[in-house]
Structure 1
């Protein structure tokens, strides 16, 4: 287990402040996931306000609780990737088509412009881009119900 050599706090304006072991201080830093879909808790980079990497954590779990909470809070405020739990219906098997889906954030409709907007990340994981640029994640095809898998099979 590696321990990060920095701490994070918030300033009076709500910006993240990075404090290195050697005393270097940077205000307005941004945490970034190296592998946001495949390994979201592994490889966290801390970027300066100018976009230069100034810190790294191999694993989010290795960070002290206070810094970890600040990073998770900051990432949650910027990341929006709803996870599809169920496909309720599709308007057509030809594209463009409107999909009614149930996600971890509620029921919604997405427009699939083309089959190329479905990207296979692994044998069981998909990333689906809708017509508005929102990315939807199917974490595990095997965990979808039979009806959802049957609908998806028509597009894969």
Structure 2
């Protein structure tokens, strides 16, 4: 018997494990969502227990991958910062006006520790509301954005 992922009539993900047991309300979690999004993915139950591991996105059947991608789109909302327009002050807390791939917004940075280097030139910025913003490559930002960002690192 093999595992299977599907949606029930209420739109919840249901995972059928190799023993035939049905797990309702499961959710996918990437192992490395920023640095290696295609490298590994777990199917987790509602209590956070791993039910199944895919070593690679390529190992997931197409029909199930479509369901996983739909679910991930809702769970992995992480705007990408494309430009830093201005900051209210170079001390923290400060208010940042930014342009993201989702449009312009304003965030509040509580402290410099809210800017974390993930890998290479990739940065993760947490605003005061807990929302995560990604800078994929800080060296690719425009000159003004780099100048403003450098004041906080």
TM-score (norm 2): 0.92
Which residue is equivalent to 1:14?
11
Matches within 5 A, 1:12-91: 12-91=9-88
How many positions carry a matched residue from both structures? Answer: 152
Can you list the C-alpha shifts for 1:29-69, whole angstroms capped at 9, x where unaligned? 11111112221222110112333211111112321111001
For structure 2, the 5+ residue unaligned runs are none
Is 1:110 aligned to residue 107 of structure 2?
A: yes
Q: Distance in 2 between matches of 1:63 and 1:87?
A: 38
Aligned to 1:76, the other structure's residue is in SS state helix
RMSD: 1.4
Partners in 1 of 2:42 and 2:13 — Cα distance? 13
**Range with bigger deviation, 14-23 or 77-86:** 14-23
Give TM-score, length-normalised by structure 1. 0.90
Mapping 1:76-155, distance limit 5 Å: 76-155=73-152
Q: Which runs of 5+ in 1 are unaligned?
A: none
- Residues in 2 aligned to 1:60 and 1:6: alpha-carbon distance in whole angstroms: 15
